[in-house]
Amino acid sequence: MSEEKYRGGSIFEQTSSEILFEELPPDTKQWAESLPWEQRRHLLLLCHLICVSPPEVQAEFLDNYTADGLVSRKLQDRNTQYRVKQYLDKFEVESELDELVLRGYIKQFYIHSAQELRNQPELYFKVVFRLVISTEEQNNILNYILGFELLKLMFQMSWLQHERLYQLQRNQEEFIKLYIKPIQLAHQINGIIIPEHRREFFSKRDYFVKKPILSPKKLVQLVMATFPTDIVIDLGFAIIRDPNFLGFDYEYIFHPEPEGIFPD
């Protein structure tokens, strides 16, 4: 009878700390359990300071604390890094994947993710921890860089160049819906290109061939505001997986318009 009573008692129930430890990867759990008391005190103090800090301070700490390790690991991943650089060169995008660029993109990835989770700040930690722990998530950093650089390129195109670009795609309708329409809508909302008097030939030609003028900071802000991280990552991943995913002919797309209205 007493045995039955104890089986239902709290001393046989799994404690909250045990449940918490079960959520950890095995090597992390082993490390945490093996810490001597003095080091446990340091760890608890760090956890306490993170928990009582404002969200922006937490984000800045996580950025700085994790960026070095992630940059180091990505710099060691020479094969994927080389492939990403090859595609950037193919699309005539001038960007070196050095330590400074990688660090900037890791911080930007955090900020981009945080913007999507602004109504769920507790999920920001999950984004960071998943990136630190998961090799697959770390590979997404390079996919993100490639996708983001290409979306920056599209944002700087005129609508005529957009038309030439989507004409090169295998699935034009999906490409227009997924990339071109959101970019052109952002152009209009932000007053970058205003398609007034669409039915008038001369007016239409003016806005159709107008090249967007954007500062580097504004360009990054627009891409982050227009596309969620999963769209950016998926674009980069699709290109790395299939070199022919994005039809691209630089000379055709960026061929200059003749000065006169009617060609000779």
The 10s digit of each residue's pLDDT in 20-40 is 777 777 887 888 888 898 998
- Helical spans, DSSP H, in the chain: 2-7, 16-22, 26-34, 37-52, 55-76, 78-90, 99-116, 122-133, 135-155, 159-167, 172-175, 181-189, 201-209, 216-226, 229-241, 250-253
Q: Which of 13-27, 38-52, 81-95, 173-187 has the lowest mean pLDDT?
A: 13-27
Rounded to the nearest 10 degrees, the angle between the axes of helix 99-116 and helix 55-76 is 140
Count CB atoms within 10 A of the CB of residue 112.
Answer: 21
- pLDDT tens profile 68-117: 666 666 656 667 677 788 888 889 888 877 777 887 887 788 778 777 66
pLDDT in tens, 198-247: 555 544 567 788 899 999 999 999 999 999 999 999 999 999 899 889 99
